[in-house]
Amino acid sequence: MAGISAAAERVSDQAQQGSGLQAVLALPGFRLLWLGQIFSQLADKFYIVLMVFLIAQNWAQTTDISSGPLAEAADLLRQQGVGSNPGLSSGGVGPDAQLITLLTTGIFAANTLPAILLGSLAGVWADRWPKRAVMVASNGLRTLITLAVPFMLLPGPSWLGLSWGYWGLLVITFLESCLTQFFAPAEL
């Protein structure tokens, strides 16, 4: 406890030397935390954009939607006019755009479901555990999981008409979002 109170006194002394933002930016620990949070928030936002880009670049042209569940879903989208553009002569969008819509919906669902299913429980657990340990562990695990993304671009077998890489991206996105449910309450 003596170490904590001594550190608090040092922070208090340093904060009194300046005012407002200048005072906290003078603290090296705060600058590191702030910089880390900036990169973490940017990475979270770019992750979903990257997933949509990977789907559009890697699976939109190579996935066959002429039959099966994807064809039925694409037909339903076409009937409902999802993604239709009145300026197009065909009155709608091509199968590639419909497929991208379907596949990105899977990514968004994998990213959202952990918040619905795990959010409250993860918040309770994160409040009971040391916050720094939760933040470091969840960010470290999120980093390791995300490093598997390039391997999902390798060719491989298909399941339900989709490449194993797409299913891998769904799993990676789901796990990354599960870990985020622990990180978010710990950072507050």
Rounded to whole angstroms, the Cα distance separating 164 from 15 reads: 53
Task: Please tell me whether residue 159 adopts helix, strand or coil conformation.
Answer: strand
Sign of CA dihedral 164, 60, 56, 96: negative
Mean pLDDT lowest for which of 17-26, 124-133, 138-147? Answer: 17-26
Asked if 180 and 134 touch (Cβ cutoff 8 Å), the reply is no
Give the residue with greater pLDDT, 107 vs 99: 107
Rounded to whole angstroms, the Cα distance separating 188 from 179 reads: 15
What digits encode the pLDDT tens for the residues 129-172?
Answer: 999 899 889 989 999 999 999 999 888 888 877 888 999 999 99
Q: Which residues contact 100 (CB under 8 A, 6 or more apart)?
A: 52, 55, 56, 60
Secondary structure E strands in the chain: 158-159, 162-163
Residue 57 identity: Q
Rounded to whole angstroms, the Cα distance separating 60 from 178 reads: 27
Asked if 128 and 121 touch (Cβ cutoff 8 Å), the reply is no
Q: Which residues contact 38 (CB under 8 A, 6 or more apart)?
A: none
Burial class (CB in 10 A: 0-12, 13-18, 19+), 66: exposed
Give the residue with greater pLDDT, 59 vs 86: 59
What digits encode the pLDDT tens for the residues 34-70?
Answer: 888 888 888 888 998 999 898 888 876 666 655 566 6
Burial pattern 6-37, b for ≥16 Cβ within 10 A else e, equals eeeeeeeeebeeeeeeeebeebeeeeeeeeee
Vertex 118 angle, CA 35 and 99, to 5°: 85
pTM of the predicted model over 0.75: no
Kindly report the average pLDDT of the chain as a whole number: 80
